[in-house]
Amino acid sequence: MEAGDQIPVIDPDQYAALVRDATDDQLAEGMRVNRELILGEIFRRMSDHFDAGKAGKVEAIIEWRILEPEEGEYDRWQMVIENGRCVVSRDGDRKPSVIYTVGPVDFIRLISGNKSGPELFMLGKLKVRGNLMLAARMPAWFRIPGADG
Domains of the chain: 12-141 (3.30.1050.10)
Q: Tell me the per-residue pLDDT of 6-27, one tens digit each, with 9 for 90 and over.
A: 555 666 666 666 777 788 888 8
DSSP string over 56-77: TT--EEEEEEEE-SSSS-EEEE
- Asked if residue 68 lies in contact with residue 142, where contact means CB atoms within 8 angstroms, the answer is no
pTM: 0.83
Q: Is 146 left (phi over 0), alpha (psi -120 to 50) or beta?
A: left
Tens of pLDDT, residue by residue over 63-75, are 999 998 666 789 9
Cα–Cα distance measured from residue 115 to residue 31, given in angstroms and rounded to the nearest whole number: 17
Of 15-19, 91-95, 115-119, the poorest mean pLDDT is in 15-19
For the segment 41-49, the average pLDDT, to the nearest whole number, is 88
Hey, CA dihedral for 46, 141, 118, 20, is it positive or negative? negative
**What are the DSSP calls for 97-112, one per residue?**
SEEEEE-HHHHHHHHT
